[in-house]
Chains A and B, each alone.
Chain A
Amino acid sequence: MWRGFEGIMKIDFSFLSKYHEALLMGLGTTLHLTVICFGFALVLGFALALLRGSKIAPVAWAATLYVEFFRGTPVLVQLFWIFYCLPIFLGTELSNFTSAVVCLSLYGGAIMSESFRSGLKSIGREQYDAAHALGLGPWTRTIYVLLPQAVLRAVPVLLSNGVGLFKESALISAVGMAELMFIGSTISNRTARPVEVFTVIALIYFLVAFPLTRLVAVLERRILRRLAI
């Protein structure tokens, strides 16, 4: 019955040392991708959060529809759409990396906008009034009054969204880009040792993501204390 015992006995991680360069390269690509998409998603997210609060109804609706659509469909579907359909619309080939960046940034933007929106919501009415009383224009008000406060309050959530993007980036392997997960699958296929390979892959993801989530928790406590809310 407990045939598994043999399986456990045969585990041997030593062969993976041969592949450490490939794994590091994969991790490098994954991190590179995550950082770029994180940047784009932050900008897009803030813009979307502002647009959703717009006084012009169609603008607000369009932004809301965008956010709901990207949050309401699987990232994998978005990824396939962008890989297979966007080139047809644009009439040019996109590189794997570009498509991956487009996909995760568009998705990330939708997620980030929600965090910015709750950050913006928590800014009191009196801040708007003060900006008005000081005669600040809408642009100055947004950049110097709203943005810093919204960002400060949203920092922990934005960072955990970043960790989320890091994890979602594993999906990109499905369309053949050589990031960490893809390299893992390739090694696993070549060596026929999925247990060791995928365990190590999972551990690598964990070793990056876990310290970041701890950092987020620490930041959250500090910011809450500073804002005294």
Chain B
Amino acid sequence: MEYDLQFHYVKQAWPHLMEGLWVTLQLTFAANVIALTLGFGIALLVMSRHWFVRAPFALLIEFFRCTPVLVQVIWFFYCVPILFGVYLDPMPMGILALGLNLACFNAEAYRAAIQAVPREQMDAGVALGFSPVQRVVYIVFPHALRAALPVLITNGITLFQQSALVALVAIGDLMYMGKQVATETYRPIETFTTVALIYFAVSFPVARLAALVERRLDVARV
């Protein structure tokens, strides 16, 4: 191979890449906030006693889980404005699409965790005179959040990586900036390698954290 690696250009473009990373992190954070709360709501609805409540949300979850994220993002960008006459800026639209996607994955994690909440806990709640809402907020949610935490963190990082595809709808995230720098400098190897390393440098420590939390929970359970 006769290729002269020059990271000089990437160094010059570094502020651009960091600007992109900041957008990526904002997207990830906002989508996670939506998904952590909305996901719990969807999990409760999907476990409802009434099939007409359960069915639409079960379908929603399956739909988000069984189609490519790219299709979902493109669908939101092109179809929401036409269908509903809602015109959002690219960024809120990206957050909405990714947030809903993640909410459906988190809902599954919460559901498994809610099912694992011991029956006695609920009985104790009833005995103490908690209202159904109080039982959900003070008993079910803390239990479920704790049990689901490793999966929720893993889902969160997956979304961080998936967020790269908003570059395809021209949101100026890390991937988009990387593409631009690569095109402007004719240095794809250096640029894309650097971009990959930046993504890795963020997601790897968080993945380790998820593994650590999982181990500690296992220990706590024994």
Contact = CB atoms under 8 A, between A and B. Distances in A.
B79 interface: yes
B74 A77 contact: no
Interface in A1-45: 1-8
B70 A89 contact: no
Given A74-B162, A74-B199, A81 B70 contact: no
Given A7-B82, A73-B161, A209 B192 contact: no
A213 interface: yes
A147 interface: no
Contact of A195 (B3, B79, B85, B199): B79
Interface in B52-102: 62-63, 65-72, 74-75, 78-79, 82-86
Nearest to A208: B66
B36 interface: no
A142 interface: no
Interface stretch (A123-131, A198-206, A219-227): A198-206
A77 B164 contact: yes
Contact of A68 (B63, B83, B182, B204): B204
A168 B179 CA distance: 20
A173 B78 contact: no
A167 B68 CA distance: 5
Contacts of A144: none
Contacts of B85: 1-7
B196 interface: yes
Contacts of A84: 182, 188-189, 192
A80 B74 contact: no
Q: Is the interface of A mostly helix, strand, loop or mixed?
A: helix
B204 A181 contact: no
A72 B205 CA distance: 10
Nearest to B71: A202
Interface of B: 1, 3, 62-63, 65-72, 74-75, 78-79, 82-86, 161-165, 167-168, 175, 178-179, 182, 188-189, 192-193, 195-196, 199-200, 203-204, 207
Given A6-B85, A69-B196, A77-B196, 19 more contacts: A4-B84, A4-B85, A7-B84, A7-B85, A72-B199, A73-B200, A74-B163, A75-B161, A81-B192, A84-B192, A85-B189, A91-B1, A168-B68, A170-B71, A202-B67, A205-B71, A209-B67, A213-B65, A213-B66
24 contacts: A4-B84, A4-B85, A4-B86, A68-B207, A72-B207, A73-B200, A74-B161, A76-B175, A77-B175, A77-B195, A77-B199, A80-B178, A80-B182, A85-B192, A90-B1, A91-B1, A181-B68, A184-B71, A195-B78, A202-B67, A202-B72, A206-B63, A206-B67, A213-B62
